Amino acid sequence: MKIGIVGGTGSGKMTVAQILATYGFQIIDADRIGWEVIEEPGIKDRLVAEFGEGILKSGRIDRKVLGKIVFADKSKLDRLNQIVHPRLIERLKQELKRDNDLVLDCALLAQFSLSDELDYIILVRAPVELRKKRLIEKGLSEAEAEARIGSQDEYRGPFHFIIDNDAGIEKLKKECGRIMSEVGYDRCL
């Protein structure tokens, strides 16, 4: 079984993925793969040419510096996406070919046209203020958190289930359990 998890930054997608991992699913983290992609020589060279040597720290892309640049200017974010997304999509499609129970944490699922590769899609939602609080707890400033939230369009693609992640981990576990029951998945580690 292959499940996609979508939702805005700070909504709790990875937490849902981690709960599903307790059922035996392997997690495909689109963000982590994206970080790998930006370090690939051809991609890295294009990013440095586009955004300057200032995005490098000890020869690697400094994601925090790059994030400050692109989340402050939509045209720069669009340019980053033009450079990185084709290779990222290619890598995600490779990952989804594995013959395992997989959960894909990918905010941009609809834009990547990966819906057909999945059996189910779960939309994770949370109030904007809670999402902002979570991002600040991860080390972003309030302005950076607002810029990241503001840079994402609301998900309008297909989905099978909605989880409102606004009441803590126990409710989240219960919602994941309900979904697993509804799809007939009864394995739990």
Please report, for the domain that includes residue 13, its CATH number: 3.40.50.300
Looking at the domain assignment, is residue 62 inside a domain? yes
Residue 105's beta-bridge partner residues? Answer: 5, 29
pLDDT of the residue at 44: 98
Looking at the domain assignment, is residue 71 inside a domain? yes
Looking at the domain assignment, is residue 187 inside a domain? no
Give the domain range for residue 154: 2-182
Looking at the domain assignment, is residue 15 inside a domain? yes
pLDDT of the residue at 157: 78
If one counts every other C-beta atom within 10 angstroms of the C-beta of residue 28, the result is 23
Domain count, the chain: 1
Looking at the domain assignment, is residue 137 inside a domain? yes
pLDDT of the residue at 188: 60
Looking at the domain assignment, is residue 189 inside a domain? no
Q: How far apart are CA 56 and CA 141, in angstroms?
A: 21
Looking at the domain assignment, is residue 155 inside a domain? yes
What per-residue string of b and e applies to 102-140 under the rule 16 or more CB within 10 Å gives b? bbbbbbbbbebebeebbebbbbbbbeeeebbebbeeeeb
pLDDT of the residue at 28: 97
Looking at the domain assignment, is residue 13 inside a domain? yes
List of the chain residues with pLDDT < 50? 189
pLDDT of the residue at 55: 98
pTM: 0.88
pLDDT of the residue at 99: 83
| Residue 188: φ, ψ to 5° | -145, 135
